[in-house]
Homo-oligomer: A and B are copies of this chain.
Amino acid sequence: MKREYKKTALPVWEIRKFLEPGPTVLVSSRWQNKTNIMTMGWHTVMEFSPSLIGCMITSANYSYELIRKSKECVINIPTLQLIDEIIGIGNTSGAHIDKFSKFALTPEDGRIVKAPLIKECYANLECKVVDTQLLATYNFFILEVVDAQVATYPKYPKTVHYRGEGAFMVSGKQVKLPGKFKKQNL
């Protein structure tokens, strides 16, 4: 049985805590009556407030048009427990299958966007597409996180970080050294 998380709202300017370490994420989308999920590894935080994320989604991907047309998506942060789903979702195309059904994942309604959240993920970040000027050249979307729901436990998720060639790094131990930082740099 897949893990269930109790989630709570996180201020959107705090999502770097979960995205800056570089996890492989699942991006869900909806356009009209079609939904899809894709696996994504090429993303970065771009700003705290507004809470911006940049990400590369190739136009060959079925999700590309759903996100471009709806101007919305959800970045879901899965944990190691979903490794088979992460790989399977990356192996398949939404042009042929319903990924929520195929991978037994539960769609949930968002608070702001129409794209479905993935219940089994540690965190759900609802996003609006806010800038498409790099889309034609680089397939690069700039998103604003407009709502964030994050598991209350554990404090940090056991994320997976793709290295290519079928290998993932799993997030390891924590080193916390706040006393060494200048306060404005934390």
Seen from chain A, the residues whose Cβ lies within 8 Å of a Cβ on chain B are: 14, 16-18, 20-23, 41-47, 52, 54-56, 80, 83-84, 87-88, 90-91, 131, 133-134, 137-138, 140, 142, 156, 160-182, 185-186
> Which residues of the partner chain B approach A44 to less than 8 Å between Cβ atoms?
42-44, 54-56
Interface of A is mostly: mixed
Given the known A-B contacts A44-B44, A47-B138, A167-B178, are A21 and B162 also in contact in the complex, defined by CB atoms under 8 Å? Answer: yes
Complex-state Cα separation, A166 to B177, whole angstroms: 5
Q: Give the contacting residue for A21; candidates B54, B169, B182; CB below 8 A.
A: B169
Number of copies of this kind of chain in the complex: 2
Nearest B-chain residue to A44, judged by Cβ: B44
Contact B174 A171 (CB under 8 A): no
Q: Give the contacting residue for A174; candidates B41, B45, B137, B167; CB below 8 A.
A: B167
Contact A90 B166 (CB under 8 A): no
> Which residues of the partner chain B approach A43 to less than 8 Å between Cβ atoms?
44
Q: Among the interface residues A45, A140, A169, which one has the most CB atoms of the partner chain B within 10 A?
A: A169
Contact B20 A21 (CB under 8 A): no
Contact A17 B165 (CB under 8 A): yes
Q: Give the contacting residue for A165; candidates B22, B163, B178; CB below 8 A.
A: B178
Contact A172 B170 (CB under 8 A): yes
